[in-house]
Amino acid sequence: MKRIGLFLGAEPCSGGTFQYNLSMLDAVASLPENRFRVVVGYLNPLWRDYLKPYSLEEIKLPYSLPVRTWGKILRACSLPVNWWRNTSKHLHPVVGTMAAQNCDLWIFPSQDDWSYRANVPALAAIHDLMHRYERRFPEVSAKGEFARREKHYSHMCKWSRGILVDSPVGLRQVHESYGVPREQIFVLPYVPPCYLYEETGHRAELHYKLPPKFIFYPAQFWEHKNHANLIRAIDLVKNLLSDIQLVLVGAPNNGYEKARQLVNELNLQHNVHFMGYVPDQDMPYFYHRARAMVMPTFFGPTNIPQLEAFALGCPTATSNIYGIPEQVGDAALLFDPHSVEEIARCIQLLWTDDDLFQNLVQKGILQTKKWGQKQFNRRLLEIIEQVTGL
């Protein structure tokens, strides 16, 4: 019997990474009990609530303030990875606790540096390498961020037994960037998180004041999320459709003030609504209420919001880049995220064409049925069997 560890390192506010952790938790819980024993280690005690539906062995990894401070001191020393792997289990409580579980495989779904700092057999996820392919954005390149990411991902690739990626494009990028053999890279596409199907509409309806009809974009305000071109597209559409409305949800980051300023410059204060951070449990309400979800991101290879929209019957338009066309199939409209005119055209169609609206709703639901949590779980089992030699 194989012992499998799952390291839950994501914070609930970390967006797609947290959602991927939820999908992975469901997948390891579905592993055949006669062949696998699962232990779940987590840092944030908030994970306890998410673990309640599952009968899994769980460990709150020791991560108190003194432990975090000690870890920062060790990292600041720039000690080589070999030192961490040979010594840290004796000096760092998190690493020591993980090593003591004697797992045949630890799964790291959050791109954690623990995947190589801990001397354990690791299956680690790399969600994207956009610092290489979209270096123009400061959030992945400025102030030493490019070098930090490059060092981090190269260590992950060197020390992990397998790398999880979201798509064939992700596989190709990891292979060509770090030379990882293709047989050690495993495609495990994203799925919509299970909490989408929980009913929270009544509470959310009382809490949020939304326009009767609106375009929706859920994304943190990073520059690569391309809020600016979406706002410019709304300005174009407004010339034809004076009632156009855009609702933006997400935590402020380096693109937030620019988006606010652009709305003011274009006099769109009555058309664009900034809702701030919205908890995961309230997101289904926004998708159900929205006329459509429009996602003009510059980053891939693929993304989760379009899958959420499909699952909840929300028509979608998104960027025609990297692995997204393959991910969405014919269930979404595609546009060049550099082209304000193409984005505006898609918005206009989604806003006015009821036949297109219904057609995309149905195609989105069909797309969700092709690949969901059950398929994700089966695929993870196959990957674990390959990596552990079963």
In this prediction, residue 66 carries a pLDDT of 67
Question: What is the share, in percent, of the chain residues with pLDDT greater than 70?
Answer: 94
From the list 205, 236, 230, 203, the residue with the least C-alpha distance to 217 is 230
What pLDDT does 194 receive? 77
Q: If we measure between CA atoms, which residue out of 147, 191, 154, 144 comes closest to residue 174?
A: 154
Which position has the higher pLDDT, 348 or 66? 348
pLDDT of residue 84: 79
What's the chain look like in SS3?
Answer: CEEEEEEECCCCCCCHHHHHHHHHHHHHHCCCCCCEEEEEEECCCCHHHHHCCCCCEEEECCCCHHHHHHHHHHHHCCCCHHHHHHHHHHHCHHHHHHHCCCCCEEEECCCCCHHHHCCCCEEEECCCCHHHHCCCCHHHCHHHHHHHHHHHHHHHHHHCCEEEECCHHHHHHHHHHHCCCHHHEEECCCCCCHHHHCCCHHHHHHHCCCCCCCEEEECCECHHHCHHHHHHHHHHHHCCCCCCCEEEECCECCCHHHHHHHHHHCCCCCCEEECCCCCHHHHHHHHHHCCEEEECCCCCCCCCHHHHHHHCCCCEEEECCCCHHHHHCCCCEEECCCCHHHHHHHHHHHHHCHHHHHHHHHHHHHHHHHCCHHHHHHHHHHHHHHHHCC
- Read off the pTM: 0.92
Confidence of residue 51 (pLDDT cuts 50, 70, 90): very high
Mean pLDDT taken over the chain? 92
* pLDDT interval class at 199 (50, 70, 90): low
The dihedrals phi and psi of 109, each to the nearest 5 degrees, come to -85, 0
For the chain, report the end-to-end CA distance as a whole number of angstroms: 10
State residue 110 phi and psi, 5-degree precision. Answer: -115, 20
Maximal C-alpha separation, the chain: 67
pLDDT at 273 over 90: yes
**Distance separating alpha carbons of residues 259 and 303, to the nearest angstrom:** 22
- What would the mean pLDDT of 181-190 be, rounded to a whole number? 97
Give the pairing type, strands 122-125 and 162-165.
parallel
Give the pLDDT confidence score for residue 206 in this predicted structure: 65
Indicate if the pLDDT at residue 180 is higher than 70. yes
Section 164-190 average pLDDT: 97
What average pLDDT does this structure show over 29-47? Answer: 94
Q: Is the pLDDT of residue 202 over 60?
A: no
At 198, the pLDDT band (50, 70, 90 cuts) reads low
In angstroms, the CA 171 to CA 180 distance is 9
Q: Is the pLDDT of residue 248 over 60?
A: yes
pLDDT in tens, 281-338: 889 999 999 999 999 999 999 999 999 999 999 999 999 999 999 999 999 999 999 9
Residue 343 CA to residue 165 CA, distance in Å, equals: 28
**Quick check: 299 and 128 in contact, CB under 8 A?**
yes
Residue appearing with tokens 């009382």:
206
